[in-house]
Amino acid sequence: MLRTEEMILNVGPQHPSTHGVLRLVVKIDGEVIQEAEPVIGYLHRGTEKLAEDLTYTQIIPYTDRMDYLSAMTNNYAICHATEKLMGIEIPERAEFLRVIVMELNRVASHLVWLGTALLDIGAMSPFLYCFRDREKILDLFNELCGARITYNYMRVGGVKWDAPIGWLDKIKNFVEYMREKMKEYHGLIMGNEIFLQRTKGIGIVSHETALSYGLSGANLRCTGVKWDLRKHQPYSIYDRFKFEVPVGTRGDLYDKYVCRMQEINEALQIVDQAVEQFPEGGAIMAKVPRVLRVPEGEVYVGIESPRGELGCHIVSKGKDKPWRLKFRRPSFYNLQILPTMLKGQNIANLVAILGGIDIVLGEVDG
């Protein structure tokens, strides 16, 4: 036996595999991780504090910058919570536009995950393919709301822009294109022995642990828990669409991969149905007062963002600004389990496991 000794390894905060500014203090013995401690807060901008001095409309662009890979769902969370507290009904057309953009954003976000997670374990070409296809979604968003990442698209009571001419056709074409490409990804990755070896049986989480840690999204579903807020606590108009909730069985990295890939398929299916059922004409904004004075009260809504349950907790005291705004940020919850997952793993699996959780540091740090 080789004699090993403990040492402390610092990973990050500037490291390509931490997907942002995450720092990990890892205690290793030889190549085996004894202990890992995430250090976060490098990207803390105090969104919740800032929001206390902003009107509800002004908060929306700030939410774009939390989970910057799926700003549409963030927009939706704050708008949905405010609407619920004010009791505003959203025009149907706006709901459809919201669902279409949210699901497309889910696809885009998962594509980034797929590309970067595979890049972490050494596969270069899927990354390029993923970004090529994500670019198509960003172009569609750019055409719709004038920005590629920070959309600022939704408003309390509806959406800012109606779909431009021919936009829905482009969406339809994209869904077709993406379905074709999904087969390509499948062929590219699924049979790859290196990929299978790096992911199967790695980073296993039991469903009890996952629930206790409050994991959500694919991180929870890969352990076999069928829990999707779109299905089980329906919001918006998700109850009108047919889609499945993919679940895994073992809760390892491979299951996460399969879950997310199937989620892309399901998201495409929802987009397809939404475009099919898209209502003819109608308003895109409900009648809302110019100054949004939200009645006194408290509301918590959870929605399914690509990373899991994105919650928005508003405490209002009847002013035009929230008294307290709290976001339940899924990445923050999901990252918490990392020390448990890393314990006893080989150091080489660190980036693979971290990549599998799919965190966005803007969201972790708020």
Partner 1 sequence: MFGLLKGLGITLKNMAKPKVTYKYPHEPLKMPDRFRGIQHFDPEKCIVCNQCARICPTDCISLTGKKHPDPGKKGKIIDTYDINFEICILCDLCTEVCPTEAIIMTNNFELATYSRDQLFKNIDWLHENDQNIRQDNVSMKPKPGGSKA
Partner 2 sequence: MSEQEKNASQEEKTGLPEVDQVGKNSVANEGVDKRQAEKKLDKDQDDSPKENKKEPSSEQVSNVDPKPTPKGPQPSVTGKSKPAATPRPRSKPKEEKEPLPPSPEEPILNQYVKIIREKIGNEAVEEFFINRANDHLPTLIIKKEAWEQVAKLARDHPDFSFNYMQSCSGVDYETHMEVVIHLCSLRRRKRVCFRVRTDRDRAKVPSLSHIWEAANWNEREIYDLLGIQFENHPKLERILMPDHWVGHPLRKDYVPLDKEV
Q: Could you say which of 14, 125, 212, 249 contacts partner 2 (CB under 8 A)? A: 212
Q: Which stretch binds partner 1 (CB under 8 A): 105-113, 180-188, 203-211, 222-230?
A: 180-188
Minimum gap (Å) between residue 41 Cβ and partner 2: 4
Minimum separation from the CB atom of position 241 to partner 1 (A)? 17
Amino acid at 65: R
Residue 196 or 348: the one with the smaller Cβ distance to partner 1 is 196
- C-alpha to C-alpha distances, 90 to 83, 96, 152, 170, 337, nearest whole angstrom: 8, 10, 17, 25, 37
Give the three-class secondary structure for 314: strand
Minimum CB distance to partner 1, residue 160 (Å): 5
Name the minimum Å distance from CB 313 to partner 2.
5
Query: b/e per residue, 241-268, with b = 16+ CB within 10 A?
Result: bebebbbbeebbbbbbbbbbbbbbbbbb
Stretch touching partner 1 by CB under 8 A, among 128-136, 231-239, 256-264, 317-325: 128-136
In Å, how far are 23, 116, 120, 278, 325 from 77, measured between CA atoms? 28, 26, 30, 22, 12
Say whether residue 48 binds partner 1 (CB under 8 A): no
Stretch that binds partner 2, among 1-9, 159-167, 282-290, 323-331 (CB under 8 A): 323-331
Choices 9-17, 181-189, 239-247, 325-333 (CB under 8 A): range interacting with partner 1:
181-189
First and final C-alpha spacing in the chain = 46
Cα 189 to its chain centre, rounded Å, is 22
Q: 3-state class of 145 per DSSP?
A: helix
Q: Which of 21, 26, 40, 258 binds partner 2 (CB under 8 A)?
A: 40
Of the candidate residues 211, 283, 299, 347, the single one contacting partner 1 (CB under 8 A): 283
- 67-126 binders of partner 1 (CB under 8 A): 93, 125
Number of chain residues interacting with partner 2 (CB under 8 A): 44
Q: What element of type H or E holds 255? A: helix 253-276
Residue 50's nearest CA partner among 36, 66, 39, 38 is: 66
CB-based contact 338:22 (threshold 8 Å): no
Binders in 296-315 for partner 1, by CB under 8 A:
none
Tokens representing 90 are 């959203």
326 is a contact residue toward partner 2 (CB under 8 A): yes
Strands 23-29, 32-39: pairing kind: antiparallel
Interacting residue with partner 2 among 185, 273, 333, 359 (CB under 8 A):
333
User: For the chain, what is the total number of helices (H) and then of strands (E)?
Assistant: 15, 8
Q: Which residues contact 275 (CB under 8 A, 6 or more apart)?
A: 100, 168, 171, 172, 175
* 287 lies in the binding site for partner 2 (CB under 8 A): no
Distance CA 285, CA 160 (A): 8
CB neighbours (10 Å) of residue 151? 26
Give the largest CA-CA distance in the chain.
74
* Window 87-116: contact mask with partner 2 (x via CB under 8 A): x-----------------------------
Encoded one letter per residue, x for contact with partner 2 by CB under 8 A and - for no contact, window 220-239 reads -----x-x----xx------
User: Mask 295-314, x = binds partner 2 (CB under 8 A)?
Assistant: xxxxxxxx------x-x-x-
Give the binding site for partner 2 (CB under 8 A): 40-41, 44, 46, 48-49, 52, 84-85, 87, 209, 211-214, 225, 227, 232-233, 295-302, 309, 311, 313, 315, 317-319, 323-324, 326, 328, 332-333, 336-337, 365-366
Give the binding site for partner 1 (CB under 8 A): 54-55, 57-59, 61-62, 93, 125, 129, 132, 135, 142-147, 150, 152, 155, 158, 160-169, 184, 187-194, 196, 278, 280-285
